[in-house]
Amino acid sequence: MPESAPLLDVSGLSKSFRVPRSASGSTRLQALDGVNLRLGRGETLGLVGESGCGKSTLARVLLMLERPDSGTVRFDGVDPFSLRGKELLAWRRRVQMVFQDPFASLNPRLNAADLIGEPWRTHRDLVPPKRREQRVRELLDMVGLRPGDARRYPQEFSGGQRQRIGIARALALDPAVIICDEPVSALDLSVQAQVLNLLTDLQAELGVAYVFISHDLSVVRHVADRVSVMYLGRVVETGPTEEVFGSPRHPYTAALLSAAPTLAPALAGSRERIVLSGEVPSPVDPPSGCRFRTRCWRAEDVCAQVVPVDEAGAGQPSHTAACHLPLEVVTAGIAR
């Protein structure tokens, strides 16, 4: 990660939602609980975890579609939730989104040129009307589509091509950050690789940073500079991708990786895969202390009593885990 001040700095972010509990009452679902994140300029941060771990809620907060209950978000040192008027509009331009489903995320009644240029109807000053046609052609070229594709409609494109239109649309506002929410999970494997390579090339060319949300560890390993692992609304481990994949420190990360030994060669010496018992607990009534303790094979009394905080590993200052009994650097098999 770059040494300079982060582009995005999230600290202690919490978000809960009121949900019905019975016919007469309601309760709160704690979707995010004290999340810390940093994103450097031009960096890719992979965000992984099982369904329901809070990844999508975090993305919605970063896009200012949800207001956090507590904690801070700093973008270039500024709290976007404090902005109003023109400043807020300018900020919105800087954080864009690429959606999971290229089949559902594009309006079928608009052609590619209109889809790509639609954000300029709100952000009118960015590209003068006279230059918009040319700019659409440039964006199509950047994402590997032809100028003639501008007049075609979403249903005339393949899934990979539609996702390229979604990427061009996100780039139309010259963002500093793109939040990619499972951007290749709906695509065939061969097309996935093409779209991932495109994102990598665009980052090298434009310096845009990505928050890359995925449940697919192989995809994250391919694209991310650093990775954060989420479990039940908390970030349990963060670090450079090679360190996290090579020697996970949190038992949950080790369990995820043990299911994919080719992604974590250092774990290949382990004789058995770690199979987690039980289901992910409900975020309506999460376990005390460490939220992973009901499924953790290393849990001790302290894990139920004290919430673990992020701590760096020996010799790995930027690799943190929130665990009272973190795994040591793995050289042969998983510490038990």
217 binds ligand SF4 (CB under 6 A): no
313 binds ligand SF4 (CB under 6 A): no
x/- letters, 154..193, toward ligand SF4 (CB under 6 A): ----------------------------------------
Question: By C-beta, is 60 or 234 nearer to ligand SF4?
Answer: 234
CA–CA distances in Å: residue 156 to residues 183, 184, 188, 222 = 20, 19, 17, 30
Residue 227 CA to residue 257 CA, distance in Å, equals: 13
34 binds ligand SF4 (CB under 6 A): no
47 binds ligand SF4 (CB under 6 A): no
Residue 40's SS3 state is coil
Query: What residues form DSSP beta bridges with 311?
Result: 321
Residue 315's SS3 state is coil
298 binds ligand SF4 (CB under 6 A): yes
Residue 183 CA to residue 172 CA, distance in Å, equals: 17
Name the minimum Å distance from CB 3 to ligand SF4: 30
215 binds ligand SF4 (CB under 6 A): no
280 binds ligand SF4 (CB under 6 A): no
53 binds ligand SF4 (CB under 6 A): no
324 binds ligand SF4 (CB under 6 A): yes
Secondary structure of the chain: what % helix, strand, coil (to 5)? 35, 25, 40
Residue 250 CA to residue 322 CA, distance in Å, equals: 7
x/- letters, 239..268, toward ligand SF4 (CB under 6 A): -----------xx-----------------
